[in-house]
Amino acid sequence: MNNQQNFKIETKKSSPLPTSHLPLLLEIGTEEIPARFLPDTIIKLKENSEKIFSEYRLSCKSMKTYATPRRLSMIAEIDPSQEAAEKEIWGPPVNAAFDKDGKPTKAAEAFAKTHGLRVKDLIKKEKGKGNYVVAVIKEAAQQTIALLPELLQKLILSLNFPKSMRWGSGSLRFARPIHWILATYGNNRITFEIDGLKSSNMARGHRFLSPAAFEIKDCKAYINLLRNNFVILDADERRKVILDGAKKLASSVNASLIEDAELLQHVSYLVEYPVPVIGTFQADYLYLPKELLITVMKGHQKYFALEDAQGKLANYFIIISNTKQDNAETIKKGAEKVIRARFEDARFYFEEDKRIPLRNRLDDLKKVIYHERLGSLYDKSLRISSIADFIADKCCLHKKEDIHTAAILSKTDLISGVVGEFPELQGIMGGYYALNDGHNEEVSKALAEQYLPAHSGDRLPETDIGTILSLSDKLDNMASFFMLGLTPTGTEDPFALRRQALGIISILIKSHYNLNISELLDKSLQPFEIDNKEELMNNLIKFFEQRIEPFFTSSGYPMDSISAILNFVKSKPLYTIKERLDALQKFKEDADYEPFLLAIKRVNNIAPKNDTPPVNPELFQQEEEAMLYKELESITPQINSLINEDRYYDAIKALMTLKEPINRFFDKVLVMDKKEEIKQNRLSLIKNIQTLALQIADFSKLA
């Protein structure tokens, strides 16, 4: 569509504008926009408004944006006139603009004419190593009211949506057809046209409860006028009405609302005038899994579930209607009829699924392709069980049989009727079916925990079997897709590998399993024939290191401390990384922190990069090197023992006893002795200090 739509200002005389900021009101009235579009659209409307106001040099004192299913609104306080501007346009070099006698050339004359200036108005300025002529263009300040038709049109056209549409014979694309545009500034109506639709100072109320248009004479009265016409403009206010009303209704039947922030947000953008209504269903359905019933209520109908004092699901639900309380009984009866049919479908699928034990579904997994280059779901189950067996041998041998059972059955519920209908219940339904088959509770719970954590901040698996199953599944995903070269790029991460890597990190830190990333990745890559395995391993480890940094910075650890422990990610259990960080944080509070870092810096500045021969005490020439060696030999076994016990701060304190011997050594001893064997022996001593320190952290990275 051509963005240069026809627009014009109201031809009648406008009232004189004062000098203070005036309220600007824009409302775009539409057919019902999908609720999922609106939270982001509010943000975009505000961002685009601020950007366009800035482009037009308009001062904005305040701004708020709103959305309901049928309208997008912006209210701002705008200065009555834009700011004057002065811009410089660089022209040709001075030696090209003027001849040797100082007379203007055709280049200067053409440049001046292009910008509406005389040659004598051009100025000369230096840039880099040259002199250039410059045109200074002054733009006078215009009245805001004269700019608004073009500005508001541009603002409306700047909005985009996940999906948009055209309607009628027009070419405009928007989320849904636009039916009216309200635009006022102060007491003035702003008139312009977009795709044949002319703006006005008229708004409309609720589609059914108050469909007639009404005039907006005062911007300050706009929100209250909408409320009087059954439209609550502010989504926060709608959420409060929904939550307060739902809780009150739940209390009336001795139940409590199962709060769901995602559902609350969604429903608040489905209605303009929320009125909670309570409905009920037959208690017979309560034998079905709680998660299944809640998912049916939430996913299909956008109803809120209730629970009793014992935390069990109650046979009530809350509907959020978009009509008056007078219609509550009609809404209730309709909702109860619909939910009964939905629960009947859920019951059918659940009963049919229970007829087939999970083990009997294994052969059917062979028919379901997981990925064309990775085989079937059955192949994935075998890879998961192999990794799980490996972890069990190292960390949980007494539960190996149950771990293997859970791993081999982990994907069987994906071909069940319920999960086919409700994919978000994967794993959860597997747990119920496992109990039905006679498996123990921990195996059943593990099947439900295998996908945890599902998102940032989500809970971690609680059982050992669930922990190992989750690790195994995520490790297989990491190894498989990296092996195929399907790695995240920029903002693209179709297989959620960043999230899964963070999940692995979180689990390994919490579980305290004595496992390192290298051995886990090596095991995960075993099923595949790989020519460049070393390179692939390095890429995977680097990927984990990159995730380690944001993981710990988000937990409040400083970047220098994280850098000091990154070299351990490859070879040490991840829980020890956190404990090293905690030790470094405590170390930073020590009075000798900076003096010790200076001493270690002296060591690092001269320590050889390559390996050195053993220190020979017989080659010592001075007391300071002998004393340093003696102190080092004394504390080395102690530090190694403390590291083995994960007592890293104590290890640092022991290492700090070398501060004075190190400083005396460098103050009194010339390391680069003329005799090669003496020099080499002293370098070996320094290298041994550095090697011992690096077993705790890379202190050179600390600020």
Residue 434 belongs to domain with CATH number: 1.10.3210
Ramachandran region, residue 302 (left: φ > 0; alpha: ψ -120 to 50; beta: rest): left
Do 310 and 428 belong to one domain?
Answer: no
**Could you tell me the CA-to-CA distances from 536 to 309, 481, 531, 567, 573 in Å, in that order?**
53, 11, 9, 18, 20
Domain with 131, as residue range(s), is 85-139
**Could you tell me the CA-to-CA distances from 119 to 101, 102, 112, 136 in Å, in that order?**
15, 12, 6, 12
**Could you tell me the CA-to-CA distances from 563 to 558, 576, 648, 693 in Å, in that order?**
9, 15, 16, 15
Do 112 and 188 belong to one domain?
Answer: no
- Structure-token pair, residue 199: 């703006």
Do 175 and 45 belong to one domain?
Answer: yes
Inter-axis angle of helices 428-436 and 441-449, to 10 degrees?
160
Whether residue 2 is contained in a domain is answered as no
Whether residue 570 is contained in a domain is answered as no
Do 480 and 527 belong to one domain?
Answer: yes
How buried is residue 650: exposed, middle or buried, by Cβ count under 10 Å (0-12/13-18/19+)?
Answer: middle
pTM score = 0.81
Do 338 and 279 belong to one domain?
Answer: yes
Structurally, how many domains does the chain consist of?
A: 5
Exposure string for 123-134, b = 16+ CB within 10 A, e = fewer: eeeeeeeeebbb
Whether residue 575 is contained in a domain is answered as no
Whether residue 577 is contained in a domain is answered as no
User: Which of the listed residues 556, 576, 603 is the one where a domain comes to its end?
Assistant: 556
Do 548 and 595 belong to one domain?
Answer: no
Residue ranges for the chain with pLDDT beneath 50:
1-17
CA 291 remoteness from chain centre: 26
Do 346 and 377 belong to one domain?
Answer: no
pLDDT score recorded for residue 11 = 32
Do 368 and 381 belong to one domain?
Answer: yes
Do 335 and 377 belong to one domain?
Answer: no
Whether residue 676 is contained in a domain is answered as yes
User: Which of the listed residues 228, 243, 264 is the one where a domain comes to its end?
Assistant: 228
Q: What is the DSSP-derived secondary structure letter of residue 289?
A: -
pLDDT score recorded for residue 85 = 79
Whether residue 561 is contained in a domain is answered as no
Report the Cα–Cα distance between both ends of the chain, in Å, rounded: 56
Do 75 and 128 belong to one domain?
Answer: no
3-class DSSP state of 637: helix
Do 134 and 150 belong to one domain?
Answer: no
User: Which of the listed residues 228, 252, 273 is the one where a domain comes to its end?
Assistant: 228
Do 63 and 156 belong to one domain?
Answer: yes
pLDDT score recorded for residue 19 = 54
Max Cα separation, the chain? 105
pLDDT score recorded for residue 379 = 97
Whether residue 63 is contained in a domain is answered as yes
Whether residue 407 is contained in a domain is answered as yes
Q: What are phi and psi of 77, to 5 degrees?
A: -105, 115
